[in-house]
Every structure is written in structure tokens, then in C-alpha cells.
């Protein structure tokens, strides 16, 4: 790719998309395009087709999705399935039909079976049943992976899927009802500290293990995929290391300076026991993460403090 190649980033205002935009600019790319959801409804097939026809991008990066944690997935299964299918299928199909040669599809580690061997390898896809708490989102993302694989196989195009582990960082979603575990914890501990170091109640037992990747590192993996023709269709993106949810909570508590108790509500679901990514394929290709968890949480909390006034629904919960 040359630095003037036109690159469309779907979801450029989100946590991942905005980080990808910043990383591409830092790498010297000068012809980036994006549209807000009010400017382009990615669920509308005709609108997406017309946009790709009009703009004729050289590269499309799909960082757009309806996302959320266990609670959001369980309460809105149809939306998580259908809207994600609509978004990705419209983008993939329009890009293919209009001659876009490079497409980067971003998914999630939840595409892998609940009880797949650890660490999760790319070849574990579709070998067993999914985690029920997020299967709707996972099924949509698996469909995107297979669509890109099919185009690559049938038409020889450079359509590649990157599956990140749990992401966090600047522009994350800190809404307690729809956010993922790390930003939800960060906000809970912050509010508890502001409320006289009140106790913090967290879901589950604290024993499940999770891997976390700072979003700027994920963005650099996307830039790596833009700059290189990767030989395979699917790559895991992560650190290759994990921590228990209890260790995560204690790290966040320390960063924030909360001095109250942590109460574990064991009646709430834990989700998948462990989700550790085997990231050896992408590492062998030439990419590796940079930001350790403690450093990433410190950066994320600093961003949270700087942007509280502008965050959606950031007011203290009643």
C-alpha cells in the first residue's frame, strides 16, 4: 500500500476504529475516510453499496459492530445477532462486488468454543459449542470470518480476519449495563472511591481467567495487516498471557486508589472459564504487543478522568 491509498474505516468513532485511525495517521497514511452512523447506516444494504461505489476505497477495515458484555448479550440476543450480520455482510459483499482487494475484518475471541483447549488456536474454530452468554454475537462474527475466507479462497483477494482478545483503552464504553468487564470495573471502583470507599460488588467468583489487550496495540496489528499481505485468512491478536478476574479487580482497585471491600456475587454467571489466545501465528508473521496490563489500565484511567464530562451516561448510578 502507498500512503495515499484510500482507506475506509467502518466504526471510526468507536474505541477500536478511532485507535486504528490514529495509528494509520501515525504511520503516514493521509487518505482516511469514515462516516458516522447518522451519515451512513451500515445495516442498510443499499446505502452501503452506494457508499462503496461512490468512494471506491482501496482498503476497507470493518471495526463496526454492536458490542457489549454478558448482560447486554443476554438481554438483546436478536439485535446482537442480526445487526452484526447486517453490518459485516453489507460491508464484505459491497467491497467484494466493487473490486476492493484488501478487507480487514475485526472480530472477537468469543468465536471459539467455550471449552476449547487452551490457549485458543485459530484451528479450534467450529470444533465445539459456543459460550451461551455471547453466542449471538459469536455466530455473527463467525459468519464474517467464513465470508472473508470464502472470498479469499474463491477470488484470491486479500481478505483477512483479526480476532482480538478482550480490548480496553481510550474511548471505551463505561456504561455499567452494556460495557465489558474491565471498563465496568474501572467505573465501579472509581464511583465507590468517590463515595467514601464504599464496597464494590462484582459478578461471579473471580476465578475465570481473561486476557486483555490495550486498544492501541490492537490498532497497530491492523496497521500491520494493512502494510503486509498475510498468508492466512485468520489470526488471533492478543498478549498470550492472562490473569484471573480477581487479579484484574485488585489491579484496577490499586490503580484507582479504592480502599473499600470487594464483594463477589457468586450467584451471577462467570462466563467462559478461560480464554487465552495462542498468538504465535501473528507473532511469527512479525507483530507483537507492547503495552503491559498495569500500564494500559493506568492510561485508560487517566483518559477516563480527563473525559468524564463527555462520556455517555457517566453520571453516578442511583
State the catalytic residues: 137
Is 13 labelled as part of a ligand binding site? yes
The set of long-range contacts for 78-84, using a CB threshold of 8 Å and a minimum separation of 24, is 78/136, 80/134, 80/136, 80/137, 80/140, 81/136, 81/137, 81/139, 81/140, 82/140, 83/43, 84/137, 84/140, 84/141, 84/144
Is 108 labelled as part of a ligand binding site? yes
Is 317 labelled as part of a ligand binding site? no
CA atoms within a 13 Å half-sphere pointing along the CA-CB vector of 204: 17
Is 18 labelled as part of a ligand binding site? no
Rounded to whole angstroms, how far apart are CA atoms 110 and 142?
9
Is 307 labelled as part of a ligand binding site? no
Is 180 labelled as part of a ligand binding site? yes
Rounded to whole angstroms, how far apart are CA atoms 273 and 131?
10
Is 166 labelled as part of a ligand binding site? yes
Is 216 labelled as part of a ligand binding site? no
How would you classify the pairing of strands 166-168 and 158-164?
unpaired
Is 167 labelled as part of a ligand binding site? yes
Is 15 labelled as part of a ligand binding site? yes
Is 169 labelled as part of a ligand binding site? no
Rounded to whole angstroms, how far apart are CA atoms 37 and 47?
11
Q: Give how far Cα 114 sits from Cα of 128, 133, 156, Å.
A: 8, 10, 32
Alpha carbon 39 to its chain's center = 23
Is 141 labelled as part of a ligand binding site? yes
DSSP, residue by residue, 27-55: TT---EE---TTT--TT-HHHHHHHHHHH
Is 22 labelled as part of a ligand binding site? no
Is 260 labelled as part of a ligand binding site? no
Q: Cis peptide before 119, with omega less than 30 degrees from 0?
A: yes
**Residues annotated in the binding site, as ranges?**
11-17, 106-109, 141, 164-167, 180, 188, 203, 210, 270
Query: Residues at the annotated binding site for substrate?
Result: 188, 203, 210, 270
Question: Binding site for NADP(+), residues?
Answer: 11-17, 106-109, 141, 164-167, 180
Amino acid at each position: 500500500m502507498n500512503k495515499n491509498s484510500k482507506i475506509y474505516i467502518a466504526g471510526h468513532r468507536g474505541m477500536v476504529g478511532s485507535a486504528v485511525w490514529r495509528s494509520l495517521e501515525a504511520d503516514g497514511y493521509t487518505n482516511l475516510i469514515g462516516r458516522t452512523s447518522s451519515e451512513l447506516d451500515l445495516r442498510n444494504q443499499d446505502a452501503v453499496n452506494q457508499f462503496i461505489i461512490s468512494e471506491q476505497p482501496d482498503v476497507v477495515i470493518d471495526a463496526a459492530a454492536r458490542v457489549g458484555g454478558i448482560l447486554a448479550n443476554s438481554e438483546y440476543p436478536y439485535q446482537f445477532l442480526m445487526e452484526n450480520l447486517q453490518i459485516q455482510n453489507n460491508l464484505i459483499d459491497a467491497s467484494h462486488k466493487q473490486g476492493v482487494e484488501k478487507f480487514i475484518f475485526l472480530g472477537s475471541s468469543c468465536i471459539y468454543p467455550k471449552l476449547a483447549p487452551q490457549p485458543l488456536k485459530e484451528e479450534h474454530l467450529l470444533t465445539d459449542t459456543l459460550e451461551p452468554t455471547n453466542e449471538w454475537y459469536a455466530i455473527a462474527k463467525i459468519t464474517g470470518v467464513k465470508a472473508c475466507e470464502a472470498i479469499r479462497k474463491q477470488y484470491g483477494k486479500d481478505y483477512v480476519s483479526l480476532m482480538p482478545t478482550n480490548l480496553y483503552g481510550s474511548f471505551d464504553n463505561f456504561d455499567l449495563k452494556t460495557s465489558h468487564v474491565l471498563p465496568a470495573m474501572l467505573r465501579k471502583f472509581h464511583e465507590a472511591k468517590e463515595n467514601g470507599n464504599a464496597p464494590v460488588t462484582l459478578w461471579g467468583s473471580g476465578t475465570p481467567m481473561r486476557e486483555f489487550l490495550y486498544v492501541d496495540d490492537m490498532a497497530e496489528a491492523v496497521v500491520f495487516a494493512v502494510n503486509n499481505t498475510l498468508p492466512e485468512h485468520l489470526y488471533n491478536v492478543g498478549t498470550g498471557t492472562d490473569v484471573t478476574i480477581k487479579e484484574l479487580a485488585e489491579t484496577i482497585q490499586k490503580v484507582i486508589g479504592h480502599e473499600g471491600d470487594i464483594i463477589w456475587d457468586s450467584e451471577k454467571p462467570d462466563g467462559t472459564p478461560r480464554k487465552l489466545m495462542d498468538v504465535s501465528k501473528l507473532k511469527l508473521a512479525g507483530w507483537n504487543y507492547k503495552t503491559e496490563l498495569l500500564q494500559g489500565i493506568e492510561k485508560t484511567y487517566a483518559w477516563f478522568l480527563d473525559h468524564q464530562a463527555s462520556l455517555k451516561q457517566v453520571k453516578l448510578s442511583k
